[in-house]
Amino acid sequence: MHPLATAAPIQPVVLAGVLEEGEIVILATRPSIWFILLKRLGSFAAAAVFSIAAIILDALDLLDISAPAIIAGVLAALALTMLWFMIDRATRLYLLTDRRVLRVSGVFRQTVIEAPLRHVQSVTLYRSLRERIFGIGTVVFSTAAAGGIAGEFSWFMSPAPLDAIKTIRDTLGRYGK
Per-residue pLDDT tens for 3-46?
444 444 455 445 667 788 888 899 999 999 999 888 877 777 88
Count other C-beta atoms under 10 Å from residue 41's C-beta. 11
Predicted confidence (pLDDT) per residue in 47-79, tens digit: 788 788 877 887 777 777 777 888 888 888 888
Tell me which fold the domain 12-31+94-175 belongs to. Answer: PH-domain like (2.30.29)
Closest to 5 (Cα-Cα) out of 130, 112, 159, 115 = 159
Give the residue extent of every domain in the chain. 12-31+94-175, 38-86
pLDDT the model gives residue 62? 78
Q: What share of the chain is helix, strand, coil (3-state, %, to 5)?
A: 40, 25, 30
Distance CA 138, CA 121 (A): 17
